[in-house]
Structure 1
Amino acid sequence: MDDMTTLRQMRADAPVPDRAALAPGRRRLTEAIADGRRARRLRADWRIAAIGAAAAITAAALLTAQIGDASGPSQGGVAAAKPLTLSSPAEVLNQAADALEMQQAPPEPRKDQWIYTRTKTVEQKPQGSSSAAGRSSFNPDSRIPDSPESRRVFNNLNSRISDSPDSWVPYDNSAAAKKGKDDDYRTSLQVYRAANKLPDDPARLLEKVRSFYPTGHTAEAPPEAEAQHSFRAMGLMIENYPIAPDALARLYRALATIPGVEVTDHLVKDAAGRDAIAITRKEDGSHQQREILISPRDYSYAGIRFVAAEDYEAIFMPGTELPAEKHKAGEIITSTARVSAAVVDAKGDKP
């Protein structure tokens, strides 16, 4: 028995669709096909096309639900959307950029407004360590990073973590920027405006971003190789809030061109337990890889993770009397998720 016959026999008593109800849709479709110029005009206006696509999706969902109702209990009713193809960073990031370029940017925040963020940070318990698993704060002060480049990352990450998951920072935080909060600190206003001026060409864009977040020049923060510098600097700019959709699209397209960048072939979990796309690169001279996490729903920044790229043993500062930490490849060393972000009018306001 073929599939169509099986389908027909599932509910032979189901009522035939009312032709009168289907007529208006059939007439509009016929007119659109007959008038090529009108069809071209519809395609030229993405807003009208989006409305048409939404209507088509709604109709398909209703049809699927009706089939489910007619044939007994359904497995969720609506058919799943086409899954992400996590085969290459270029494919994923260009797909994200295409979607972002369709979005309209909200107005830039006023200088007197504040940026509210809520984050969650966890540090996994390593093998052979008695440290508590799933700690909500990360304090790497006692650990010796396994490379000079990692030391810069840990120092800057540590300076941004507070006891409270909620944070309010002035959009125009010029006073903190002048004091040199940390080597990589830029105000939200500075990043927002710099991102809007970035060129389309990926090579020129990466050069601009590296200049915006310079590499180190001391023993504590030594110079980085170009690819390492690019990935670190791009992560810093991408995590800024807010950032215009078209600017983020340009950043994603350039991010895919950095040597050594990969994408995990499955969705991972961020520190808040949400699904995320992991764009990764192994840290130079390190046993770890840095992962920029992106939401698969709207392609916004979701967080950052540091993951063991191989089995290794981490040591501690002399005098801490702590055992060495043994890490297995694939183990999450630390993970930070941005749970919420918004522009608010005053410190203490929440969306």
Structure 2
Amino acid sequence: MDEMTRLRELRADAPVPDRAALAPGRERLTDAIAGRNRRTRRLWADWRVASLGAVVAITAAALFVAQVVAPSSPRPAGPATVAGDLDLSSPAAALGGAADFLERQEVPPEPRPDQWIYLREEDPDQKRQWEEVPAEIREQMDMTYSPDSWIPYDDKAAENDESDSDYRTARESYRIAAGLPEAPEALLAKLREVFPTGSGPDGPREKKDDHSFRALTVLLQSYPLPPGALARIYRALATVEGVGVTDHLIRDASGRQVIAVTRENGQDNSRREILVDPVDYSYAGEREVVTRAHEISGPDGTEPMVLKRGDVLMDIARTKAAVVDAKGRKT
């Protein structure tokens, strides 16, 4: 039986996920296919907890295992890069080193209101799902899948849209980051205020450290961020309870070696990973990895879905980011 047939059978009797549970996946898929990449992901608090139907769909349709690249022998410092020797012995060492490097960088000018943000994000799941849509159906759709997207830096219509309190435009995100305080505790408190936790239909309120990690993750997806602000964000990230760092570089969805800053999603038997470029310490993507083997029960008469430790449920690699003068330009 092929995976898509099995998926349909597993999903047939599953309860319909609510709006909050579906929002993150629907947002990513819609944005990618439509060729638009919002400045930040929608901030539904319950990205931490996946419904049965959502997990089965993600896993059965697009599960793949990423390669892990480990050093030949244990050592406190990782490979040498343009930024210096990588110390992946702890979050404080890795992110502190990144912050030290960023604080030495020249601050580029803020983008002009008429400029655009170009992003290229490799997402094998979305690409595969699009390719599985029959050609005759794709031809009738007024959208397509592309890893390339352009968003206006100054989007006043989006800024004034009060119906979506979670979304921040490129300019808003830049200025939020630039205005963050130096002290990690104060910085985290400010971000929890800017990106509020869920309530009511949008999911339960989060614990303090869960909330801090989510808010940091969302802001890190923004481009551009002033290097000094990014340095402060990394120092604050290292202080969040439960944050770790892999002691070796991993392979992302594009095949690059990157740093993985991790935090366990206890309720999901998985961990969230923020990927960081080991050369210039820019945001490089995100992953979600199974941390404990477990089964997800399906409807009566179907076999349960088995998830193994190390299975990758989500793997998105940002390979390019630039401020450009017009939509469609890449430099």
| Same fold? TM cut 0.5 | yes
Match of 2:312 in 1: 332
* Percentage identity across paired residues of the two chains: 49
Task: Give the equivalent residue in structure 2 for 1:5.
Answer: none
Q: Over aligned residues, Cα RMSD in angstroms? A: 2.9
Larger Rg: 1
**Equivalent residues of 1:306, 1:334 under 8 A apart:** yes
Structure 1 residue aligned with 2:128, among 135, 141, 154? 135
**Residue pair 1:138, 1:334 contacting (<8 A) in 2 also:** no
* Change over 3 Å in CA distance of 1:103–1:109 after alignment to 2: same
2:187 aligned with 1:185, yes or no? no
Q: Does 1:278 align with 2:280?
A: no
Gaps in structure 1 of 5+ consecutive residues? 1-78, 124-132, 140-161
Q: Which residue of 2 aligns with 1:100?
A: 102
**TM-score under structure 2 normalisation?**
0.67
Q: Which amino acid aligns with 1:246?
A: G
Q: Which residue of 2 aligns with 1:207?
A: 189
Which of residues 270, 273, 289 is equivalent to 1:288? 270
Q: For residues 138 and 228 of structure 1, what CA distance do their matches in structure 2 show?
A: 35
Q: Paired residue for 1:114, among 96, 113, 116?
A: 116
Is the contact between residue 234 and residue 251 of structure 1 (CA under 8 Å) also seen in structure 2? Answer: yes
Paired AA for residue 243 in structure 2: V
Aligned partner of 2:102: which letter?
L
Structure showing greater relative contact order (alpha-carbon pairs closer than 8 Å, 6 or more residues apart): 2
For residue 340 of structure 1, what is the amino acid of its counterpart?
K
Cα separation, 1, equivalents of 2:130 and 2:272: 18
- In 2 relative to 1, CA 95–169 (structure 1 residues): closer, same or farther, beyond 3 Å? same
CA separation of 1:232 and 1:322: change in aligned 2, threshold 3 A = farther
Q: Which runs of 5+ in 2 are unaligned?
A: 1-78, 133-143
Aligned residue number for residue 327 of structure 2: 347
Distance 1:107 1:134, change over 3 A: closer
* Alignment check: 8 A CA contact 1:228 1:284 kept: no
Change (3 A) 1:219 1:193: same
Aligned equivalent of 2:155: 173
Q: State the TM-score, normalizing by the size of structure 1.
A: 0.63
1:224 CA displacement: 0.8
Opposite residue 180 of structure 2, the aligned amino acid is L
State the AA in 1 paired with 2:249.
Answer: L
